[in-house]
Amino acid sequence: MQTPRFNTAYETDYSKRMERRICGILCEKWNLKPSPDLPWHNILDYLLFKNGQAVCFAEIKYRNKVYETYYVALNKMRAGINYTDITGLPSYLVVEFPDPFGIQYVEMSKDIIHHVGMSNLKSRGDDQDNEVVVHVEMAQFKPIENSIYSWGQSCNLNVIPF
């Protein structure tokens, strides 16, 4: 019997396909190779490799709307920060936003947390669909490649972060 993922209640085939597509684009742009999808107990989605060496972890998301801040589950942020502390490898939150923003990333750290709140999702009719989240200001994100919009910050788009 296969162990169910704790976070798969609302994970669809479509959302997994989107994650894999985004990871593929990221790996192509940064010349990386992804691990297979990590098992649920790893919390984050991928370990990424360059020349056979692990170089970073990635949590991949797709969003069809843009807000003033982006929120992610505290559990995901904590895992990314802990993985970095233990391994020395950076952990990235990678999100594809709607045009014109494209795929953006931010290194997971305590320093990027703007504030803490609750997800308070009501749309799915599940009173258990509520968790502690951390909000990240959009200006913290950087495009993975040349983008016509990068949240107003200046960044050297020719530098891969490792």
**Is residue 28, in this structure, part of any structural domain at all?**
yes
Which residues form the domain of 35?
Answer: 13-143
**Is residue 46, in this structure, part of any structural domain at all?**
yes
Q: What is the pLDDT of residues 26-66, one digit of tens each?
A: 999 999 999 987 877 889 999 999 999 999 999 999 998 88
CATH number at residue 107: 3.40.1350.10
Maximum Cα–Cα distance across the chain: 50
Q: Are strands 113-118 and 53-62 parallel, antiparallel or unpaired?
A: unpaired
CB count within 10 Å of CB 120 equals 9
**Do the Cβ atoms of 40 and 7 come closer than 8 Å?**
yes
**Is residue 148, in this structure, part of any structural domain at all?**
no
How many structural domains are present in the chain? 1
Q: Is the pLDDT of residue 151 over 70?
A: no
Q: Is the pLDDT of residue 10 over 70?
A: no
For every residue of the chain, DSSP letters joined together read -PPPPTT-TT--HHHHHHHHHHHHHHHHHHT-EEPSPPPGGG-SSEEEEETTEEEEEEEEEE-S---SEEEEEHHHHHHHHHHHHHHS--EEEEEEETTTTEEEEEE--GGGEEEEEE----TT--TT---EEEEEEGGG-EESS--S--TT----TT----
Question: Best-predicted range by mean pLDDT among 5-14, 58-67, 144-153?
Answer: 58-67
**Is residue 157, in this structure, part of any structural domain at all?**
no
